A and B are shown apart, each in its own frame.
Chain A
Amino acid sequence: MTTAHGCAAPDYDSVDEGTELPQIDIRIRRADLVRYSGASGDFNVIHWNERAARAAGLPDVIAHGMLTMAITARIVTDWVGDPGAVAEYAVRFSRPVIVPDDEDGAEIVITARVAKKLPDHRVRVDIVARCGADKVLSMARAFVVLP
């Protein structure tokens, strides 16, 4: 199976601790928040209504943490090709992703590396997601089973 990058999927023996995964950059705009609200069923007003977001003490509308978590997972699933290889995925939402009402929205820059090779063809991948200067996810890690 080839990955979204067109490269052969990694196998356990060919990866080392420290192996970097191909970086991905993903832009989130207001329309993406509306679409994710509908698809996920999370209609919390802070994700689509500026007035409500400000009343809740936020600077502006923020992205759903779960949307940030979902797009961040792609650095791993694009790499392995089969998302069914993800055995565990965990994040802390350290800073909100503020999504202004303009064409640029917010850009998430995602990097990751193989942090540990574990028994049974499992690896731990440590992931960093940034928006501007903010680390928006911390302690983001996935346990993946490689062929």
Chain B
Amino acid sequence: MSELTLTVMRLGFLAVLWLFVIVAVQVIRSDLFGTRVTQRGSRRGGQDRQPQRGAAAQTAATPPQQRQQSGGRRAKGGGRGAPSKLVVSEGTLAGTTVALQGQTISLGRAHDSTIVLDDDYASSRHARIYPDRDGKWIVEDLGSTNGTYLDRTRLTTPTPIPLGAPIRIGKTVIELRK
């Protein structure tokens, strides 16, 4: 085999190997660069690409503080004020989010809960959060020992959740966000 062919194959192999790594990184790009901060009303046209990519790199350096979604996406989640995700803001699970897609979310120490609380003050089936027929999200305490608090008040009946209002279970605080 000629020297030239072998050299081409050698460099070609390295190129293919690196291509694989780069493709793999592209697949998880959204994870690696964190949250994209897009300006309100900006459109995802070609001319917008550059500044957005800069913004993405910036967020990679500093932890993302706030996310604003582009208008096109929000329409999917229902009305303008409809929450799209549930965020755990305090407690051992802080940072976890669950996308709200019309499903019932159960909270508690039981292993099959949607959010498994690891909290001495939580009951095994503590509370649940579900949408009513109008798409409003309701929190209901399931007879827990230590109670579920919306803002400062202990829940006694199923109650609609205002956007961003803290729901407190033991040391865990969750809230709905857009």
| A, B: real partners | no
Give me the interface of A with B, judged by CB distance under 8 Å: none
